[in-house]
Amino acid sequence: MRVSIWLMIILSGSMLLSCRSKNEQQEQVTDLIEITRSQFDSEKMTLDTPKRVVFYEYVDFTGMVTPALNASAEISLSVPGIVNRILCNTGQYIAKGQPMMEIGGNDMIDMQRDYAESSASLLQLSSEYQRLRDLFNDHIGSQKELIQAESLYKSEKARNTALKIKLEQLGLDAKKIEEGNFSYSYQVTSPIGGYVAKINATLGQYIEQQRIIAEVVNVSRFQLKLSVFEKDIHRLKSNHQVIFNFAGDKNKSFHARLLTVGKSINSESKAIECMAKIEDLHVVNPVNNQYAEGRIVVDSVYALSVPVEAVLKSGEDRYVLCLERETKEKYYFNKVKINTGQSNNENVEITGASLPSKFISSGVYNLRLE
């Protein structure tokens, strides 16, 4: 009788333990997120493993396209005058030395007259100086007369040479002018090869010397002028990669290389100007003064990561659904909390967690975390 009672007690205990074990298993299962295979396929979910990718550290900038120092020219007149002809159009390519405008007027005619008169006077003064020098050498003439003649001759020679250089800069033939053959106009030519960016003149307009009448830009030597905040300047070095885009087309990026890092802060913008060389300029096809913005790559690091779309948010916490087990009909996923670090458009760094081999890498946007 006692044996039977003990057997019943033992069996009852075993049943209770068995029930508790089953209940614990059920509770464990209910903590997992169940996804049927049909749901997995319909939501286009995929499984993947954490991967190490490169994350970059950037410094942001704004800037503009500008030509190199010797790749643009602002053109003004050597001698004031009236615009007789305009020989080019905005946007037109012109070669170095190609005429752009034809300028006439009294100023350039007066200059030719002054040169012709100076040349005649110089011939007379030269002859007089030579005569007095010969007399002085023969101990006939006075030294005072020789010095005076020499002074007048050298003064007129200096004036004549200066006028001749000015005329030659206008493209005029000084020899013809000496003979009295004056030109009614002179041509303004381009000092560089490039495209005409501006024309600030009209036919019949009188132009002063200081006025800019045209601008020519060599588009094959465009570069980027970047504005970087003072706090970031210590991180920049020449040859750093620059990634930039133009306003209105942020989905299309181009590349450049940092050439120089400025050493002076702009008093208005509180930024420092840097210069960068645009790579594949023929592909970028920029326009002068075009606004640009982007980032300068200052550092890079390999780190464990998951795709951005694999991360679920719940308040301030971030989770990844890791595969626990699977059957013919279902997947069972465990919600694993992660800490995130750096990120880019595709991946986010994970820290403080060791993920299992597989997790849902895409298609989780419709799942809700309780």
Mean pLDDT across the stretch 247-270? 87
The answer on pLDDT for 21 being more than 50 is: no
Fold adopted by 57-69+218-299: Elongation Factor Tu (Ef-tu); domain 3 (2.40.30)
Per-residue tokens: 229: 């905040």
pLDDT given for residue 96 in this prediction: 94
| Residue the block writes with tokens 């010397």 | 209
Mean pLDDT across the stretch 339-357? 80
| Dihedral angle computed from the Cα positions of residues 126, 132, 136 and 140, in that order, rounded to the nearest 10 degrees | 160
Those residues whose C-beta lies under 8 Å from the C-beta of residue 217, and which sit 6 or more positions away, are 67, 71, 72, 194, 195, 197, 288
pLDDT given for residue 250 in this prediction: 77
- The H-or-E segment that residue 197 falls in is strand 194-199
**pLDDT-derived band of residue 17, with 50, 70 and 90 as boundaries?**
very low
Those residues whose C-beta lies under 8 Å from the C-beta of residue 360, and which sit 6 or more positions away, are 45, 46, 47, 310, 320, 321, 323, 333
Mean pLDDT across the stretch 97-104? 95
Mean pLDDT, the chain, integer:
86
pLDDT given for residue 337 in this prediction: 87
The 10s digit of each residue's pLDDT in 152-183 is: 989 999 999 999 999 999 999 999 999 889 99
Laid out side by side, the sheet with 194-199 consists of 72-75, 214-217, 194-199, 93-94
**pLDDT-derived band of residue 106, with 50, 70 and 90 as boundaries?**
very high
CATH number given to 75-104+187-215 = 2.40.50.100
- The H-or-E segment that residue 11 falls in is helix 2-31
Render 91-137 in DSSP notation, one character per residue: T-EE-TT-EEEEEESHHHHHHHHHHHHHHHHHHHHHHHHHHHHHHHH
**pLDDT-derived band of residue 22, with 50, 70 and 90 as boundaries?**
very low
pLDDT given for residue 5 in this prediction: 44
Q: What is the pTM of this model?
A: 0.67
Three-state DSSP at 367 gives: coil
pLDDT given for residue 138 in this prediction: 72
**pLDDT-derived band of residue 110, with 50, 70 and 90 as boundaries?**
very high
The answer on pLDDT for 348 being more than 50 is: yes
Question: Residue 207: what residue type?
Answer: I
pLDDT given for residue 354 in this prediction: 67
The answer on pLDDT for 193 being more than 90 is: yes
The 10s digit of each residue's pLDDT in 111-150 is: 999 999 999 999 998 888 788 787 777 777 677 877 888 8
The answer on pLDDT for 10 being more than 80 is: no
Q: Spell out the domain ranges in the chain.
A: 57-69+218-299, 75-104+187-215, 106-183
Residue spans of alpha helices (H) in 32-105: 37-42
